[in-house]
Amino acid sequence: MIAISAVVKLSIMPVRIMVAYSLFWGIAAGILTIIMTGLSKQELSSFFNIKEVAAFEFIEVLIFIGFVFSRSNKSVLLRFYPGLMIAVPLALVSSVAVRLFPGIDFNLTGVLTGLVVFLTVGGAALLCRYLQAGKQSLYLISFIIMVITIVIYGMA
């Protein structure tokens, strides 16, 4: 759910910026994959603390909702906010990718993970653009994610 709101937000941005952010997230996924190679399972589980992730996701959803309802010059800053909580699914994909292919070079795993994330995020953003996902879709998805985040935080 975290990545869906960020992808819809990316689809609203101009194409050049959308491609630049997709490339950035691909490079970040490659670097995270290399970093994840040195972490133990206990360190990985502490990285994915569900209450902290839910709290930060709630803050990001509020930023997205602020973008939907802003109409002033301050919205220029919110317009280019890419959604930083997409780093959590990237870290999860990276931690899985490191342990998925035993015996393969970690740098090659990082490059492959980065390439897959770049293509997935960019392709999903282009699909949302093709489906004409706009501020209304971002608001609906943000509201659903907010409700799910509150439930997850309460259950954890």
pLDDT tens readout for residues 80-90: 788 788 888 88
Model pLDDT, residue 74: 65
| Domain range for 23 | 2-155
What's 101's DSSP letter?
S
pLDDT tens readout for residues 20-74: 999 999 999 888 888 888 777 788 777 778 888 888 888 888 888 888 887 776 6
Number of folded domains that form the chain:
1
Which amino acid does the sequence have at 68? V
Model pLDDT, residue 22: 92
- C-alpha distances in angstroms, 5 versus 33, 63, 95? 23, 11, 22
Predicted TM-score of the model (pTM): 0.81
- CB–CB of 41/125 below 8 Å? no
Which residues, including other chains, have CB under 8 Å from residue 1's CB and lie 6 or more apart?
Answer: 144, 145, 148
Residue whose pair of structure tokens reads 């996902």 in the numeric block: 133
pLDDT tens readout for residues 1-34: 778 888 888 888 889 999 999 999 999 988 888 8
Q: How far apart are CA 84 and CA 136, in angstroms?
A: 21
